[in-house]
Structure 1
Amino acid sequence: MLSARFLHPKSIAVFGGREARKVIEQCEAVGFTGEIWPVHPRHARIAGRQAYRSVAELPGSPDAAYIAVNRDLSIQIVAELAARDAGGAVCYATGFSEAGEEGKALEQALLRAAGDMSVLGPNCYGFLNYIQGAMMWPDQQGGRRVERGVALVTMSSNIAFNLTMQRRGLPVSYVVSLGNRLKFDLHDAIATFAQQDEVSAIGLYVEGITDPRAFQQAAEIARQYGKPIVALKSGHSEIASQVVMSHTAALSGSDSLIDALFERSGVARVNSLETLIEALKLLHVHGPLGGVRVGAMSTSGGDMSVLADAISETSLMLPPLSDSGVMALKRVVHERMVVANPLDYQLFDWGSREGLRRTYETYMNEGFDLTISMLDLPREDRCDSADWDSAEQALVDASETLNYPTAVMSTLSDNLPEALALRLLERGIAPLSGVQAAVPAVEAAARIGQLWARPGPSQPILSGPRVDMVGEHIIDEASAKKALAAFGLSVPRSRVVASAAAGVAAAEELGYPVVVKALGVAHKTDVGGVRLNLTRPADVEAAVAHMLTLGRDVLIETMVAGSVAELIVGVSRDEQFGLHLVVGAGGILVELLKDSRPLLLPTNRTEVEQALRSLQTASLLFGFRGRPEADLEAVIDAVMAIADYAERHQDSLIELDVNPLLVLPEGQGVVAADALIRFAPGHHGTTRSDSLATEQEPA
C-alpha cells in the first residue's frame, strides 16, 4: 500500500535534472499548493526554486520524493529518505530486475534501503494526483484537476501517458504507473484507490498478475467500497506475450486463466483502450448497470442499424416496447413515425426543445437499464452546431425529470466533442464516443452489474504451495481410475492382468464387448496399445499377447456404448495460478476444436454448468439434431469429483486428464474412459497397479 501521506503530499522533494524539472513544471501547471524542494549537488536553483544539495539539507521530511537519477544513486537516496522518515519515493531509474541478474540484486538492495517507506517503481514514471495537483511525473500530462474521477492503474508508463491525453471527457482522479512493482503491486493499487472517496471507478492496463489470490482479495475490497473495475489485459497473442516478458521480466499469465480470474473477481475485461475509457465514463456516471436492456433513439435509421448490429454481437438486448409504452409514444410523436425500440423519431420535432423533451421522456419511461440517445455533432472548425442544442437540452431536461440511466452516443468518436462530453457529465449523462468502442463498454458495465449481483463475496481461489515441476511420476490408467473412483468418479468395470489367459478369463467375467489396453505405455493409440469392442475370446487373447510386448500389465474393461458426447476434464498447474480445472470437447475433438474453458479452484456447480454451456460444442449436451439430452447433472458430479481430488492433492499434483469422459443420455450417468495423473517427484511413486486382480465398479 502507498501511505496516505505519500499519495496526498503537502511537500515534495525532487532529485535529478531534466526529469526533476518536469515534475516541478507539471505541479505548477495544475496548481499544486504545497512545498517543492529541488535537490541537486551542484545547482543552486532549479525551475526558479532554491535547490538543496542533499537529503540532509532539506528543511523537513518530505511527504513524497521523486528520484530521477541513476540506479546506484537511487538506492543511496532512498536509504537517506527512509532514515529521515519520508512518506515515500518514486524511483524512476531503469536497470533493475528487468535488466538481468545484476539488476535483480540491485532491486533487492533498493528494497532493503527503503525499509518501511513506500516506494513506487523502480522503472516507472510515477503517479498523478489530480485532486491535490501532485504531479509526480517526469513528462507532460494532459489531465486536469477534478473533485472526483476514475483511477487509472497501468503497467506501462507510456500507456499511462497516452491515457492522460484522451479528449473524450473522462474525469481522472489518479494515474499510477507501477513499473517493476517492488513494493507496490497491482493488488495494492486496487485496494488503495478503492478506499479513496474521490475515486468513482478503477481502470487497469494489465500485462501480468503475479498474485492472483491477492488480486481477487483487492477486487473484493473494491466491490465492498462500490468501486467497479474494468481491465484491459495485453499479451493474449504470442508476440504480445513475448513483448510483455521482455518489458517486465514477468510472465503475462495464461490469458484464459486471467479471464476466469476477472470473472471470479467481478472485473469486466475489455479489448481496447478506447473501450476502457468509454466503460469508465459510463461507470463514473451511473455505476454498474442493473441489466442488459437497452433503449436507443435517433433521428436516423442508419444510426439505429449500425447500433443494432453492434449490440447483436454482445450480450445486450434491445427489448420490444411494452403495449403501454407504444400507446404513450404514439400520443406524442408524429403520426407517420414507427414506434419501436430502437426508435427513429426522425426530424419532425427537431429544433423544438419541448417537443423533443416529450418524446425523450415518454420513451425513457420504459425503464431501460440504459437509454441511449444517438447524437453526432458537426465539425467545430467548419460548421455550426447550434441546431443540435435543442436535442442536448431536451435530453438533459428528460433525464433530470426521470433519473433513469442515460447516455449520449455518437456513431463516430470524432463527432462527440470534449466540450459536449464535459457538459453531459455535469448533468449526469454519460457521453459515449463511437459505436464500436461504446457498445462493448455498455456490455462491460452491465456485466459488472451481473457479477456484483451474485450473493456474498466471491469464493477465494486455491492458494497451494509451489511444486517442483522437474521430473514426474506418472500413475498408470488403472491406478488413476481407482484413485478417482474413490472420489466419486464413475469408471468402467475392469481387471488388470499379466497373461493372455488371465485376460480371457477377465473378459468372460466382465462380459463382452470389452476394451483391452496396455498399461504404463505413453501414447497407447500410436503404438497399438488400445483395442476396442472385442467380442471373442480369441480376439482378447491376441490383443493381450500384443499388449504384453509393450508393457508388463494389461487393463481389461467393459466397453461403454451409447454416449451422446465426449468431454475432457483436466487439471493443470500454472506457475502463477497453481492448479486449475479445464473442461472442453473431448476425444478426437480436443486438438481439432480446442474448445475448452478453464475453471479456477475451488469451483462450484454453478460455475461448472456455466462453463459447459459456454462451449462451442455445448449443443451436443442438449439434444442436438434429435439426439437424446445428456445427463448434465452427472457431468457436473464428475467435474466436482475431479476438482475434489485435485484440491486434496494440491501439494503434489502436476496434471490430470480424463479424456474422454463419455456422457450418456439423461439418467444414465457418465463414464471416464481414460485417465492420466502426473505427480511431482517424491509423491505417489507407485506407477504399477497395486493388484493384478483389481476390479473397479462404476461409482
Structure 2
Amino acid sequence: MTRDLSRLFRPRSIAVVGGGAWGKAIVDQCRKMGFSGEVWPVHPTAAEVGGVPAFRSVADLPEGPDASFIGVNRHATLDVLSQLRDRGAGGATCFASGFAEAEAEDAAGRDLQRQLLDAAGHMPILGPNCYGFINALDGALLWPDQHGLARTERGVAIATQSSNIAINLTMQRRGLPIAYAVTAGNQAQTGLAQIGAGLIEDPRVTALGLHVEGFSDLHAWEALSARARDLGKPVVILKVGRSEQARAATVSHTASLAGGDAGAQALIDRLGFARVGSLPEFLETLKLLNFTGPLASNRIASISCSGGEASLAADTAHGRGVTFPPLNEAQRNGLRAALGPMVALANPLDYHTYIWRDTERMTDAWAAMMDPSLALTMLIVDFPRADRCDPADWNCTIEAALAAKARTGGNVAMVATLPELMPEEVAARLAAGGVVPLNGLSDAIAAAEVASRLGQAFAASLPLLVPSPTASARLVPEAEAKTRLAAQRLPVPRSERAGSPEAAAEAAIRIGFPVVLKGEGFAHKSEAGAVRLNLSTPEAVAEAARAMAATGFLVEEMVTGTVAELLIGVVKDPAHGFVLTLAAGGTLTELLADSTSLLLPVGPSEIDAALSRLRVARLLDGWRGGQIADRAAIRDAVLAIQSYVVDNADRVEEVEVNPLLCLPDRAVAADALIREAE
C-alpha cells in the first residue's frame, strides 16, 4: 500500500503525546528551529509541557494533527494510534520499543506489532523503536534529543535504520546542508524505500542518502528507483551487513560466488543507485551531488601548490573510476599566461607558490584549468588551525576559487587532504559561492567516482523476479538437468546414461569418440576424480568407469576447440532476488575469483556489459591473436538458463552450468546442476 507521507514530513501542526524529558525536548527543539506551525502537547495531567499549554487527550485537540510524536509505553501507544487515526491525523512516530525487534526476549512483541499495524490503519507511521525525523527546511521535527542541524533552504535527505547514526550524522561539520534526517526504527509499516520516496518529492531535496542494514519489499525499492529517475534525484546507499540466505546452497561454485554481499550489490546496481563504503564517503558524495548533481564524465583535474599533493592526488585516484586527462591546448595557453615559464604544466598540476597572494593570477590559473571538457576540477588547499596559526594568508585561495567559479561556471571543489583542515566557516563561505568544500582527498576522489558513475547509471526497466521463501531442496541428476535446460534451447553435448562400465563403453561407440566419462552421485565430480576426458576407445571407457566408485555413468561427446570456459549460475537469494553470476569457469573459478553478478531478469545488453567486465573477456575476444568466441551464442545460453528459472521460479533454488564451453561458432553446457524445492 502506498501512503502519502507529505503531511507527516512537512507538517503545519505537531502533536507531542507524553510528558517527561522526551516531550519537552520536542517542544523546545521546534521552538529553537523556528517552526512556524502549531505545537500541541498532549498529557492527561500536566497543564503545560515545555512552557506550552497541554491538552488532556487526542480527542481535545483542535483537529487531527499533521504529525505526532508518541512518547508513551508500548501498550499505551496502541490506544493513542487508534485515536490519532480516528481524528484523521497525517502520521506519527512511535518512540516505544518492545515490539517485533524484541521478539527473541519477549514473545508478546510480535503480537503487539500486529496490533500496532491494526491501530494505525491507513495512517503512516515511523518505527516503532524510532527517534523520528528532523525537517531542517521548515524547522519541523519529531526528535526527542539534541541534534546538530541548522535551518537550510535546500539540501540532501538522509534516512537510516539507526537512530544513533542519525544523531551522529547531524553533528557533521563538513558544510553539508542536510534538509531531512529521518530514522526508520524497525519499519513495521513504513520501510526505508517508502521513506525515501516521500522525501524526494520535496523539490528542495537535491539528493537522497540511505543507510541500509537490509532490503525488504523489493517492489517498493523498484518504485523508489523509478521515481528518483523521473525526478532526477541521485540516490546513495551505505549498505552494511551480509545476507546469510544467499549462502544456503553449498554444493556449487555459484553459491560461494553469489554469497555474502553479491545480491545486495546486484540489487543496488540494478536500481541505478550508487554505493559507498563508509560514513565519510557517504557525506562527501552527498555533498558533491548536492552542488553538482551527477557528473557528466569521470574526467577530473587537480591543481595544488605542492608536488607532493599533485602526486598524492594521482596515486589516490589510481585504480578508481576517475581519470586525469592530459592538458589540452586551451588549458596550456591559459596556464602558461598565468604561471609563467617556470612551472611544468601537467594534470595533476603543481603550480608552486610563485603566484601565492596574487589573487588575480591565481584566479586566471584556476579558471584556465577548469576546461569545459572536465566534469570536476579539484583545488587542493589545506587551511592551518586557527587556534595556533593565522589563516588570513589563505584568504587568497578562497577569493580565487570563488572568482574562478563565477568566471567559468564549471564544477569546482576545494579539497583539504585531511578532513580537519577544512574549517567549517570556510566551507560555508565556499558553498555560498557554489564551490564544493570537500573534506579529505581520498573521500573526495571516491565522491567524484560515485558521482560520475551516477551520471552514467543504468536502472533496469524490467520488474524484478521476486523469489519465494527458501525451501529444503534436492539435487537433480546432471542428465536430467541438461534435458530440462536443453528444452529451453541451451546447447548440450550428445550423451547417454549407463549403469555399468560395459554399458558405458557401448554408449561411447554410439556417440562417437573421443568422449567424456562422468561418474554420477557426486556434487563435485572433479574433486572426486569422477570425470575423465578425451577417452578414445571402448576399453579406455570401461577401465575408467571401473576405477570410479560411482552409482552410474554419463557418457558425452568430447567438445573440442574451446576458446574459454565460463560459469553461468543462478542462486535464489530471498533478500534480493535471483542472483545471476557470470564468472571464469571450469577449474579456474575459485583460482581467478573473476565474477560479476546481476539480478534476473536481464536483457541482452546487460549480459554483454557483464561479460565485458570479466578479466576472462580478453580470452573471449581473441587474446593475442587467438580465436574469438561466439558472444551471441554465450548470450543465448544465459537467456536460456534465465528462461528456465523464470518458468520454474516457484521451485528453483539454484541452477549452474560450469563450464559453459565457448567456441568460435557455438556455446555448449558441458556440466549442469539444478537444485529445486522438494
Same fold (TM over 0.5): yes
- Corresponding residue for residue 506 of structure 1: 507
TM-aligned CA deviation for residue 649 of structure 1? 1.8
Q: TM-score with structure 2 length normalisation?
A: 0.93
1:86 maps onto 2:85 in alignment: no
Native 8 Å contact 1:373 1:409 kept in 2:
yes
- Corresponding residue for residue 12 of structure 1: 14
Equivalent residue runs for 1:453-464 within 5 Å? 454=458, 458-464=460-466
Q: Which moved more, 1:149-158 or 1:645-654?
A: 645-654
| Pairing partner for 1:56 from 59, 67, 70 | 59
- Corresponding residue for residue 475 of structure 2: 474
Cα gap change, 1:318 to 1:525, in 2 (>3 Å): closer
Partner AA of 1:94 in structure 2: S
Partner AA of 1:98 in structure 2: E
Partner AA of 2:377 in structure 1: T
Cα gap change, 1:467 to 1:382, in 2 (>3 Å): closer
CA distance in 1, matches of 2:42, 2:363: 59
Partner AA of 2:63 in structure 1: G
1:671 maps onto 2:668 in alignment: yes
CA distance in 2, matches of 1:204, 1:468: 27
Partner AA of 1:117 in structure 2: M
Partner AA of 1:671 in structure 2: V
CA distance in 2, matches of 1:347, 1:462: 56
1:335 maps onto 2:331 in alignment: no
- Corresponding residue for residue 693 of structure 1: none
| 3-state SS in 2 of match to 1:641 | helix
Native 8 Å contact 2:334 2:364 kept in 1:
no
- Corresponding residue for residue 140 of structure 1: 146
Q: Which moved more, 1:625-634 or 1:294-303?
A: 625-634
Partner AA of 1:460 in structure 2: L
Cα gap change, 1:550 to 1:363, in 2 (>3 Å): closer
TM-aligned CA deviation for residue 669 of structure 1? 2.7
1:364-384 deviations in Å (ceiling 9; x for gaps): 135311111111111122222
Cα gap change, 1:91 to 1:2, in 2 (>3 Å): farther
Native 8 Å contact 1:459 1:602 kept in 2:
no
1:380 maps onto 2:386 in alignment: yes
Q: Provide structure 2 residue ranges, at least 5 long, that are not aligned to the other structure.
A: 248-258
- Corresponding residue for residue 516 of structure 1: 517
1:413 maps onto 2:413 in alignment: no
| 3-state SS in 2 of match to 1:588 | helix
Q: Which moved more, 1:155-164 or 1:304-313?
A: 304-313
CA distance in 2, matches of 1:417, 1:282: 17
Native 8 Å contact 1:583 1:597 kept in 2:
yes
CA distance in 1, matches of 2:280, 2:470: 42
CA distance in 2, matches of 1:442, 1:359: 22
CA distance in 1, matches of 2:334, 2:639: 52
Q: Which moved more, 1:101-110 or 1:211-220?
A: 211-220
Native 8 Å contact 1:467 1:680 kept in 2:
no
Native 8 Å contact 1:461 1:600 kept in 2:
no
1:223 maps onto 2:224 in alignment: no
Partner AA of 1:6 in structure 2: L
| 3-state SS in 1 of match to 2:327 | coil
Native 8 Å contact 2:581 2:598 kept in 1:
yes
CA distance in 1, matches of 2:369, 2:416: 19
TM-aligned CA deviation for residue 620 of structure 1? 4.1
| 3-state SS in 1 of match to 2:338 | coil
| 3-state SS in 1 of match to 2:575 | coil
Native 8 Å contact 2:161 2:212 kept in 1:
yes
Partner AA of 1:536 in structure 2: T
1:430-450 deviations in Å (ceiling 9; x for gaps): 111110111101111111001
Partner AA of 1:672 in structure 2: A
TM-aligned CA deviation for residue 624 of structure 1? 4.8
Q: Which moved more, 1:289-298 or 1:612-621?
A: 612-621
| Pairing partner for 2:428 from 422, 435, 442 | 422
CA distance in 2, matches of 1:346, 1:600: 50
Native 8 Å contact 1:367 1:404 kept in 2:
no
- Corresponding residue for residue 644 of structure 1: 643
1:140-171 deviations in Å (ceiling 9; x for gaps): 00000011110001111111101100000100
CA distance in 1, matches of 2:437, 2:242: 30
CA distance in 1, matches of 2:434, 2:367: 15
CA distance in 1, matches of 2:526, 2:381: 62
CA distance in 2, matches of 1:394, 1:522: 67
- Seq. identity, %: 44
TM-aligned CA deviation for residue 348 of structure 1? 1.6
TM-aligned CA deviation for residue 619 of structure 1? 4.2
Cα gap change, 1:52 to 1:601, in 2 (>3 Å): same
TM-aligned CA deviation for residue 61 of structure 1? 2.1
Native 8 Å contact 1:213 1:463 kept in 2:
no
| 3-state SS in 2 of match to 1:332 | helix
Q: Which moved more, 1:614-623 or 1:295-304?
A: 614-623
Native 8 Å contact 1:97 1:107 kept in 2:
yes
Q: Which moved more, 1:406-415 or 1:519-528?
A: 519-528
Native 8 Å contact 1:282 1:445 kept in 2:
yes
Q: TM-score with structure 1 length normalisation?
A: 0.90
CA distance in 2, matches of 1:467, 1:207: 20
- Corresponding residue for residue 558 of structure 1: 557
TM-aligned CA deviation for residue 527 of structure 1? 5.1
- Corresponding residue for residue 195 of structure 2: 189
TM-aligned CA deviation for residue 623 of structure 1? 4.5
Partner AA of 2:349 in structure 1: L
| 3-state SS in 2 of match to 1:331 | helix
1:303-340 deviations in Å (ceiling 9; x for gaps): 11111111113110000011343233222322111111
Native 8 Å contact 1:55 1:77 kept in 2:
yes
CA distance in 1, matches of 2:347, 2:429: 27
CA distance in 1, matches of 2:7, 2:652: 45
Cα gap change, 1:546 to 1:141, in 2 (>3 Å): same
Native 8 Å contact 2:313 2:348 kept in 1:
no
CA distance in 1, matches of 2:330, 2:7: 57
- Corresponding residue for residue 692 of structure 1: none
Q: Which moved more, 1:421-430 or 1:313-322?
A: 421-430
CA distance in 1, matches of 2:479, 2:604: 27
CA distance in 1, matches of 2:58, 2:337: 75
Partner AA of 2:422 in structure 1: L
Native 8 Å contact 1:8 1:134 kept in 2:
yes
Q: What RMSD, in angstroms, separates the aligned Cα atoms of the two structures?
A: 2.2
Native 8 Å contact 1:93 1:124 kept in 2:
yes
| 3-state SS in 2 of match to 1:173 | strand
CA distance in 1, matches of 2:290, 2:470: 45
Cα gap change, 1:674 to 1:215, in 2 (>3 Å): same
Cα gap change, 1:265 to 1:509, in 2 (>3 Å): same
Native 8 Å contact 1:7 1:129 kept in 2:
yes
TM-aligned CA deviation for residue 574 of structure 1? 0.9
| 3-state SS in 1 of match to 2:339 | coil
TM-aligned CA deviation for residue 622 of structure 1? 4.3
Partner AA of 2:340 in structure 1: H
CA distance in 2, matches of 1:397, 1:611: 44
Cα gap change, 1:465 to 1:265, in 2 (>3 Å): closer
TM-aligned CA deviation for residue 172 of structure 1? 0.9
TM-aligned CA deviation for residue 678 of structure 1? 1.9
1:319 maps onto 2:325 in alignment: yes
- Corresponding residue for residue 596 of structure 2: 597
- Corresponding residue for residue 487 of structure 1: 488
CA distance in 2, matches of 1:279, 1:85: 39
Native 8 Å contact 2:264 2:576 kept in 1:
no
1:680 maps onto 2:677 in alignment: yes
| 3-state SS in 1 of match to 2:128 | coil
Native 8 Å contact 1:187 1:214 kept in 2:
yes
CA distance in 2, matches of 1:356, 1:671: 63
Q: Which moved more, 1:287-296 or 1:573-582?
A: 573-582
Partner AA of 2:135 in structure 1: N
TM-aligned CA deviation for residue 617 of structure 1? 4.4
Q: Provide structure 1 residue ranges, at least 5 long, that are not aligned to the other structure.
A: 242-252, 682-699
CA distance in 2, matches of 1:270, 1:526: 38
| Pairing partner for 1:99 from 95, 99, 102 | 102
1:220-263 deviations in Å (ceiling 9; x for gaps): 2112111111111111499xx9xxxxxxxxxxx95212211221
Partner AA of 2:482 in structure 1: K
Native 8 Å contact 1:216 1:460 kept in 2:
no
- Corresponding residue for residue 256 of structure 2: none
Native 8 Å contact 2:657 2:669 kept in 1:
yes
Partner AA of 2:98 in structure 1: G
